[in-house]
Amino acid sequence: MQQRRGVALSKKSFFSSVTILGTLMLLSGVLTRVLPSGSYERILEDGREKIVPGSFSVLERPVYPLYRWITAPFEVLFGEDQVTIIVIIMFLLLIGASFRVLDESGLLRYIMETIVEKYEKRKYLLMGLLILFFMSFGSFFGIFEELIVLVPMAVTLSYSFGWDSLVGLGISAMASGFGFAAAILNPFTLGVSQKIAGLPAFSGSLYRVLIFFVIYCILYGYLYLYAKRIEKNPSFSMVYEEDRALKERFTHFEEPISTKNKNLGRVVKVYGYFILAMVMVIALGFFIPVLSAAALPLVAVIFLVASVTSGILSEYKPFQGMLKDLAKGFTSMLPAVLLILMAMSIKHIMTEGMVMDSVLYYASERLSGLSPNMAVLGLYLLILMLDFFIGSGSAKAFLVMPILLPLTDILQVTRQTAVQAFLFGDGFSNLLFPTNPTLMIALGLTVVSYPKWIRWSIKIQGIVFIVTLMFLFLANSFQYGPF
Whether the pLDDT of residue 101 is over 70: the answer is yes
Tell me the C-alpha distance between 91 and 301, whole Å. 8
Query: What's the rounded mean pLDDT across residues 435-454?
Result: 88
Higher pLDDT, 368 or 170: 170
Q: Looking at residue 118, what is its pLDDT? A: 86
Tell me the C-alpha distance between 473 and 372, whole Å. 8
Q: Which of 51, 60, 40, 221 is nearest to 127 (CA)?
A: 221
In 10 A of CB 142, how many CB atoms? 26
Tell me the C-alpha distance between 106 and 108, whole Å. 6
Binned at pLDDT 50, 70 and 90, residue 27 comes out as very high
Q: Looking at residue 73, what is its pLDDT? A: 93
Long-range contact list for 60-67, CB < 8 A, 24+ apart? Answer: 61/36, 61/37, 61/354, 62/37, 62/352, 62/353, 62/354, 64/32, 64/352, 64/353, 66/29
Q: 329-346: buried (b, 16+ CB within 10 Å) or exposed (e) per residue?
A: bbebbebbbebbbbbbbb
Spatial contact of 415 and 409, defined as CB atoms under 8 Å apart: yes
Higher pLDDT, 279 or 254: 279
pLDDT in tens, 338-388: 888 998 898 899 989 999 889 888 888 888 888 999 999 999 999 998 888
Measured CA angle at 451 (ends 339, 384), to 5 deg = 80
Spatial contact of 480 and 412, defined as CB atoms under 8 Å apart: no
DSSP 256-284: -GGGT-TTHHHHHHHHHHHHHHHHHHHHH
3-state secondary structure (DSSP) of residue 58: strand
Tell me the C-alpha distance between 476 and 6, whole Å. 49
Whether the pLDDT of residue 2 is over 50: the answer is no
In 10 A of CB 368, how many CB atoms? 11
Rg of the chain (C-alpha set): 23
Cα-Cα-Cα-Cα dihedral sign, residues 8, 91, 449, 115: positive
Spatial contact of 56 and 40, defined as CB atoms under 8 Å apart: yes
pLDDT in tens, 103-131: 888 887 788 878 888 888 899 999 999 99
Binned at pLDDT 50, 70 and 90, residue 275 comes out as confident
pLDDT in tens, 375-428: 999 999 999 988 888 777 777 887 778 888 888 888 889 999 999 999 999 989
> What's the N-to-C CA distance of the chain in angstroms?
63
Spatial contact of 144 and 104, defined as CB atoms under 8 Å apart: no
C-alpha distances out from residue 446 to 22, 84, 166, 380, Å:
21, 23, 9, 31
Spatial contact of 268 and 110, defined as CB atoms under 8 Å apart: yes
3-state secondary structure (DSSP) of residue 48: strand
Binned at pLDDT 50, 70 and 90, residue 265 comes out as confident
Q: Looking at residue 344, what is its pLDDT? A: 86
Tell me the longest C-alpha to C-alpha distance in the chain. 72
Tell me the C-alpha distance between 95 and 111, whole Å. 18
Spatial contact of 177 and 457, defined as CB atoms under 8 Å apart: no
Spatial contact of 319 and 312, defined as CB atoms under 8 Å apart: yes
Q: Looking at residue 262, what is its pLDDT? A: 67
Q: Looking at residue 477, what is its pLDDT? A: 95
C-alpha distances out from residue 286 to 49, 148, 255, 280, Å:
22, 17, 43, 10
Q: Looking at residue 261, what is its pLDDT? A: 58
Q: Looking at residue 1, what is its pLDDT? A: 39
Beta pairing partners, 109? none
Spatial contact of 438 and 145, defined as CB atoms under 8 Å apart: yes
**Which residues lie below 8 Å from residue 9, measured CB to CB, with a gap of 6+?**
332, 333, 335, 336, 339, 443, 444
